[in-house]
Amino acid sequence: QKEVEQDPGPLSVPEGAIVSLNCTYSNSAFQYFMWYRQYSRKGPELLMYTYSSGNKEDGRFTAQVDKSSKYISLFIRDSQPSDSATYLCAMRNDYKLSFGAGTTVTVRA
């Protein structure tokens, strides 16, 4: 079993829809929870990170962490075609990041 499980999709939604992404994990030592966005043929870039259970908002993006269930989510409101990318969840223990497989999202205009 992988440390981090993420449904690879793909996910296709119309412009303006809410995109919902999630990951589960098995390692209780993970301290920080992150979401990276990766455009085609580019390196991943950090979108959001959280430390504790609960919600964190940044513009159209909301990250949720439920440590008791070992479950994290990312919601994208009012999705735009420019949000089309692969979204990777990542979890950190000290310096080490463990990544999910990534979910490919396409937002149709």
Partner 1 sequence: DAGVIQSPRHEVTEMGQEVTLRCKPISGHNSLFWYRQTMMRGLELLIYFNNNVPIDDSGMPEDRFSAKMPNASFSTLKIQPSEPRDSAVYFCASSARRGGVSYNEQFFGPGTRLTVL
Q: Does 70 bind partner 1 (CB under 8 A)?
A: no
Return the range that interacts with partner 1 (CB under 8 A); candidates 9-17, 45-53, 64-72, 73-81. 45-53
Q: Does 88 bind partner 1 (CB under 8 A)?
A: yes
- Taking CB under 8 A as the criterion, the residue among 46, 57, 69, 108 binding partner 1 is 46
Cα 99 to chain centroid distance, Å, stands at 10
Amino acid at 77: R
H helix runs in the chain, sequence order: none
Tokens read off for 16: 């303006």
Q: Does 85 bind partner 1 (CB under 8 A)?
A: no
Amino acid at 68: S
